[in-house]
């Protein structure tokens, strides 16, 4: 069983550590059997816990699925934000974060599978999960006077595009063409022309997060 979220909770209280262990276990079971087919018994058995412990933390399997996908997305976004301190331009931050997010998610196939399946089951934007994306887009809109309304509808459009790209990458493997086109399409949604979008993606192609391999930022413990 991967121990990423349990490890992240080391030093925290027992409740936080237990929740992290259940999320790690759920990710493994969800990715192997699918969220619909997975059972609470399988999740708690893998975690080495009783079902009663599960219900102390989550209402049901759906509640755990939401928590698991949210934890994955938020952790990737948080790590990326920490590593983009050298980027002030909002448009560049959107491109680098989107490209790197897809790369990191795909590097842990279980994470990618849970993100895609849960989004297909419950295609709504969690405002806390997308707080980093919102901040970068608002920065870009202010710097470039893009004229877009940064609301839930816009975030849902961009999130849908990201999940479609991630699903394609899961099926076909890592393809730079998909990453490039996804970033260009995102910028076009934000109001850039095709030519402008292409130039912006090319401009950040040498950023360290992309050159060094974004997938190395987060590694899971088996």
Region 165-180 average pLDDT: 95
Range name among 7-11, 51-55, 150-154 with the lowest pLDDT average: 7-11
User: Exposed, middle or buried, 9 (CB in 10 Å: 0-12/13-18/19+)?
Assistant: buried
Q: Give per-residue pLDDT as tens, 121-134.
A: 886 666 776 889 99
Q: Does domain 1-58 have CATH number 2.40.50.1020?
A: no
Residue 221 scores a pLDDT above 70 = no
Region 104-119 average pLDDT: 93
pLDDT for the residue numbered 160: 93
113 half-sphere exposure, CB direction, 13 A CA radius: 15
pLDDT for the residue numbered 115: 94
Residue 212 scores a pLDDT above 70 = no
Region 41-70 average pLDDT: 95
DSSP letters of 83-134? TTTT---HHHHHHHHHHHHHHHHHHSHHHHHHHHHHHHHS----TTTTHHHH
Model's pTM, two decimal places?
Answer: 0.89
| pLDDT band at 222; cut points 50, 70, 90 | very low
pLDDT for the residue numbered 208: 81
pLDDT for the residue numbered 61: 95
Region 16-28 average pLDDT: 95
């Amino acid at each position: 069983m991967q121990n990423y979220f349990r490890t992240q909770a080391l030093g925290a209280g027992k409740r936080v550590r237990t929740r992290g262990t259940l999320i790690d276990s759920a990710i493994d079971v969800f990715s192997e059997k699918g969220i619909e087919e997975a059972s609470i018994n399988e999740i708690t058995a893998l975690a080495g816990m009783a079902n009663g412990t599960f219900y102390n933390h989550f209402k049901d399997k759906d509640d755990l699925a939401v928590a698991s996908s949210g934890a994955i997305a938020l952790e990737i976004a948080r790590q990326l934000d920490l590593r983009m301190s050298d980027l002030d331009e909002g448009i560049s931050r959107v491109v680098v974060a989107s490209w790197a997010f897809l790369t990191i998610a795909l590097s842990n196939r279980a994470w990618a599978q849970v993100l895609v399946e849960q989004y297909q089951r419950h295609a709504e934007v969690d405002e806390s999960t997308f707080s980093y994306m919102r901040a970068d887009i608002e920065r870009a809109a202010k710097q470039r006077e893009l004229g877009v309304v940064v609301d839930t509808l816009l975030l849902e459009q961009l999130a849908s595009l990201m999940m479609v790209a991630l699903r394609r990458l899961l099926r076909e493997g890592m393809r730079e063409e998909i990453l490039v086109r996804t970033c260009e399409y995102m910028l076009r949604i934000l109001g850039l022309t095709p030519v402008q979008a292409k130039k912006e993606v090319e401009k950040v192609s040498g950023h360290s997060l992309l050159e060094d391999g974004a997938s190395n930022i987060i590694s899971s413990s088996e």
